Amino acid sequence: MNLDRVKAVISGGASGLGRATAVRLSAGGAQVALLDVQDDAGRNAATAIGAAASYHRCDVTSETEVEAAVQAAATRMGGLNVSVSCAGVATPGKLLGKDGPLAVAAFQRVLAINTLGTFLLDRATAAIMQGNAPDADGERGLLIHTASVAAFEGQVGQVAYATSKAAVAGMVLPLARELARFGIRVMGIAPGIFGTPMMAGLPQEAQDSLGKQVPFPPRLGRPEEYAELVAAICTNRMLNGDVIRIDGAIRMAPR
């Protein structure tokens, strides 16, 4: 679909990959709704983007909050045809750590935000998209998941994160097959090491060291590069049912 016809909801839209996606899509003429729990950052992001953007508070682990936020966004935009799931956490933890086995609650929280949050957004948005008028190719909508290279090369201490992102990637093909009859595409993006708020908590020396591990370009990925891929997926209808790595050819080591 052309970007100027896009009406998108973006979870995690207040910062990082989500905010960059909102900026890029709106620059192409799209309307965007930012879903997040960071109220100040979300409102500021929407204000900075302009009239094409709105902010809606939403805890992606809550079915009722996701449903309400999606409905509010669709009402404001006069429809909905793109969903981008960027909300996520990367809380580390070993199965057998220094303080004993990994807390079940810690494992569940990562899966709730990353995996359940993606499912709930898919569920709420696809339910609306199925009723859209089809375009010339019969397309009614697009769901985009944010996985991670950790889905394929999880490191020590990433058991919860890697599990959650492997599930996010694993949902793509069955959903693409199921939703094909409605003309709804489903794609995934698996970023490598990107300069996001998650990464910002590390010392600059550590960030630089991580960036040098990337074969080319030897640096951290930029949120704008992720956003460009989202825009490309929106405009290319043959992209469906797959997960695209955007990682500079890195393959993560065990540690």
How many helices (H) and strands (E) are present in the chain, helices listed first?
Answer: 10, 9
CB-CB neighbours of 226 under 10 Å: 23
Closest by alpha carbon to 114, among 156, 169, 71? 169
CB-CB neighbours of 196 under 10 Å: 23
Closest by alpha carbon to 73, among 119, 36, 25? 36
Closest by alpha carbon to 188, among 251, 122, 116, 129? 122
Per the annotation, the verdict on 55 as an active-site residue is no
Active-site hit among 55, 107, 119, 161 = 161
User: Residue 161 and residue 159: Cα distance in Å, rounded?
Assistant: 6
* Residue 150 CA from chain centroid, whole number: 14
Residues designated as active site: 161
